[in-house]
Structure formats: structure tokens, C-alpha cells
Amino acid sequence: MQRDDFSLPANPPGGAPRLRASWRRSERYGLAADDIRPVFTGSVDTESLLYECGREVLRGLQKTLANEPVSMMITDPDGLVLSRLSEDATINRSLDRVHLAPGFYFAERNAGTNGLGLALADRAPSLVRADEHYCTGLRGYTCAAAPVVDPSGDVAGSVNLTTWSDSAPELLMALAQSAAANTSALMLARGAGRFAPPTPHGEVFRVYADRSRAPEEALPTTGWRGAFAEARTAFRRGLAVAVVGEPGTGKTALASLARRELRRERVLSARPPAPEDVESWFELWVPELGKDSTCVIVSGVDSMPAWATTELAHLFTRVRATRDMQPYVVTASSADTLPDELRELIDVVVDVPALRFRPDDIMPLAKHFAHQARGRDIDFTPAAARALTAFDWPGNVRGLRRVVREAAARTDRIDLHHLAPEVFTGPGRPLTRLQSVERDEIVRCLTEPGTTVSEAAEQLGLGRATIYRKIRQYRITVPDRTP
């Protein structure tokens, strides 16, 4: 990809792509390079898991760096400095003068290009040296920061280490990454024993129209049809489209089907990459952008590093400037989370409703997925159908497909005991692994045909009062279950 085609109004020394993109964003935010005025809030959240774990990790690091002029900070995901630790009075006084202190926001939009702001924007470890800072008031420092990931896999905040600009930065970066990783691990250990999800790899794949069924056959439900018709109309008019909705609602599938109903073209889907894979990810699919025979769908643009969305916006701008039709689509979790640079290049936003708002779609989809799994029609008992329809499906269509395929692999007639325990559990706090095992065993006994709650309690070696308490604790609901 030729990044040199894009002229930049402001250029940091060295011209690294991430820094150039950050300086461009800083200028777009209207920041004055010679006047740093971060927003101040009167209080910070000192009760959060991030604060607790981050402070514990940094206190340990502080003992190692007791005689070094290094200030260590924890920030929330919006760049709000929650805590600052340092025993060096000189650097503390200096940082106070530029407001790099608890209670101040240091995201890019507040303080321009800086270490912690860049780490949060790009979701990647970041080192900003001296005059690489956008604001001149920060150019006396070198800042190394790394994002902290919470037990769900989301960015919870960052660890930032700041020292004088003439200090060696390599060790600082290694220490920041280590502290962030240790904070994430401690949060994971204390956050109900959950496993972090795998990081994305930025898969890119093509779907060919002549190898797929007609949209009417692949779209068996009514709840999708309004969004489908809206997307198809936008494509017919040659408009750039953003398809938004919760994870798992089928945004990419809907866009692909709507495009292929109009044109026999290949649809290229590019999923968001891990921060370290962005450049190679671009190289895979950018040559296809703008071709008459290809529609590009870039998924999850709201989860991409900020510099990647900047590059993406420039690519799309170039397509719009040279073609009458804009053969690209983006997806995001909501219209509000679309990056500003991309929002300006989108003509129509299509909202795909979550599955919990489409209860009439659940059983048609379930039968569709069961048929896919076994190659023939699979029956559902009335109780199983009621359980599937009553569930909120936080994972949306993706979650329903997984549950149904697992059940269909075991039987030709799906009943309660074939369904995953999660289907019978209401929303609540995350469970530890031990609690999940206990919950699953209770559900397994309760869903056995003809088993009463009393009989389930006896099988588990529990008293009636205990099993009823556990049912309330885990919010277990099993249709047609008798006492």
C-alpha cells in the first residue's frame, strides 16, 4: 500500500505510520500544539478491578525502580489517569505542570499524540519519544504505554511509564508491556476465573456468488428482511453502507447476501486484525478494493487500531474520488462506535436487530442450522422449542448456531437434555469454573426426561432447600419442570 500518496499537514520526526496517523487525528481534534489543556474530572474510580490490580502490580515495580526518575500510571479506557506512582519529587512536580496526574484525561483528543493515548487508540504497546509528542509541553518526556485487557478481552485501560526524554526508552517499553500483562493476568485471576478470548488474526476470505444459494433460501426468517431490504436498496443506488448490530447478529452475512442478489460478483470479507498484523492484513486485500468484480466488506471497524482506521479512510476516500460507485461495506457494533473518519464516508447505516428482539426468528433459524449440521430435517420437542425461544441469546445468531449444531450432532430429535446448560441460565455475574461445573450438573439432572426437582436433588446428593437455593443463585429456568 502506498502511504506516501497521502499528504499530511503535520509530520512527527521519523514519520512512522502510527505516529503520522496520530498527529493527523490530533490536528483534526483542533488541538493547539503549544497549549496543552487536558480535561479534569473531580474524581476517579478507585474501586474498580483495574485500579486494584494495576496499583498492586505498579507498587511491586516501584520497589525495583525506587531510585529511578520514572512515573508509573494506570489509566481507564478513556485515558483518565487513575493513579500515579513515583518517588522522584522532581519528575512529579514536572508532570503536575503538564497535568499528567490523576483526574486528568490524556487520550489523544485531550492531549494529542502521547504514549498512553496512542496505546489506547491503537490497542497496542506504544512508545512516544520527546519531539514525537504532538504538544510541545510533553516533549521533555519519553512515554511508554501498553493496553491492559480485562477478563472479557476488552481494553480496560493502560499502564503508562514516563521518564525524561534523554533516558533509554527500550527498557521502559519492556517494563510497560510486562506491567500491563501482569495487570491483565491478575484481573483475569480475580475476575471469576474466566479465560481471555483468543486475539483476532485478521482473516481475509472470498465468497463467490455462483457457489452460494439464493438469498431467499439462505435467509429463512422475517426479522432480517427489513434490514436486508434497506441494504439492498442502498447497494442498488451505489451507496457506501455500514451494517451495525451486536456481535453475532449476522452483519457480514446480510451485507454479502444483499450485494450478491444484485450482482454476480465475489464478496471479499476482511475481519479486524490484531494490532501487530495490520500492515500485512492491508496487503492481503487492498489490491481488490475498487474492482468492478469485487465487493469489499471490512468487519468490526470499531475494534481496529486507530491508525488502521485512518489508513482505511484514506483508501476509501481515494475510491470515492475515482469511481461513481463505492463497492465497499463496513460493519460495527453500533452507529455511535463508527470511527469519525469512516462515518464521514458512509452514506447509509443499516441496523441489524439482536436476536432477542426477533423471537419469531429463533425456531426457523434453529431448524435451518440443525439441517445444515445433519443434512436432513431435525425435530425439536415443544419443551426444547420453548427453552430456545425464551433464552435471550447474548451471542445472538452465532450462539444459537453453536448450541443447535452441538445438539443436532447427538440426536435426530432435540429435547431439553440435549441443549447446552447456558440456555437455561438467566443473566448474572460471571461464574468461576467450579460454579460452572456445579451449574451444569444441576441443569443436566433437571433436564433429564421425567425428572423432578426432588429427584434431581437426590441424584446430586443435595437437600430440597439447597437445590432450590442453587436454582435461584444460577437463575436456572427449565420449561415444564415439576417440583
Each residue's pLDDT, cut to its tens digit, for the chain (483 residues) gives 333 333 344 567 666 889 999 998 999 888 988 888 888 987 788 888 899 999 999 999 988 887 889 999 999 999 999 999 998 999 999 999 999 999 999 999 999 999 999 999 999 999 999 999 999 999 999 999 999 998 777 899 999 999 998 776 678 899 999 999 999 988 888 765 444 455 555 666 554 443 434 333 344 467 778 888 899 899 888 888 999 999 888 898 888 888 877 766 677 888 888 887 888 888 888 887 877 778 889 999 998 998 899 889 988 888 777 766 556 899 999 999 999 889 989 999 999 999 888 888 899 889 989 988 888 899 999 999 999 998 889 889 889 999 999 999 889 999 988 998 888 887 766 677 777 788 888 888 888 888 888 888 888 888 888 888 888 888 888 876 545
Phi (first) and psi of residue 248, to 5 degrees:
90, 0
User: Is the CB of residue 479 less than 8 Å from the CB of residue 383?
Assistant: yes
pTM, two decimal places: 0.69
Tally: H helices and E strands in the chain: 18, 13
pLDDT of residue 202: 63
Look up residue 285 and give its three cell numbers.
Answer: 486485500
User: Is the CB of residue 420 less than 8 Å from the CB of residue 384?
Assistant: no
Which part of the chain is CATH 1.10.8.60? 357-473
Which part of the chain is CATH 3.30.450.40? 3-190
Cα–Cα distance measured from residue 390 to residue 478, given in angstroms and rounded to the nearest whole number: 10
Neighbours of 38 (CB within 10 A): 23
The CATH classification number of 204-353 equals 3.40.50.300
Q: Residue 351: which of 244, 256, 247 has the closest Cα?
A: 244
User: Is the CB of residue 108 less than 8 Å from the CB of residue 10?
Assistant: no
CATH 1.10.8.60 fits 357-473, yes or no: yes
Which part of the chain is CATH 3.40.50.300? 204-353
Torsion-angle region of residue 192: left (phi > 0), alpha (psi -120 to 50) or beta?
A: left
pLDDT of residue 3: 36
Q: Residue 186: which of 161, 158, 221, 151 has the closest Cα?
A: 151
List Cα–Cα distances, 465 to 372, 453, 462, in angstroms. 43, 11, 8
Question: What CATH homologous superfamily does 3-190 map to?
Answer: GAF domain (3.30.450.40)
Cα–Cα distance measured from residue 364 to residue 136, given in angstroms and rounded to the nearest whole number: 60
pLDDT of residue 221: 65
Pairing mode, strands 348-351 and 379-380: unpaired
At 263, which amino acid appears?
Answer: R
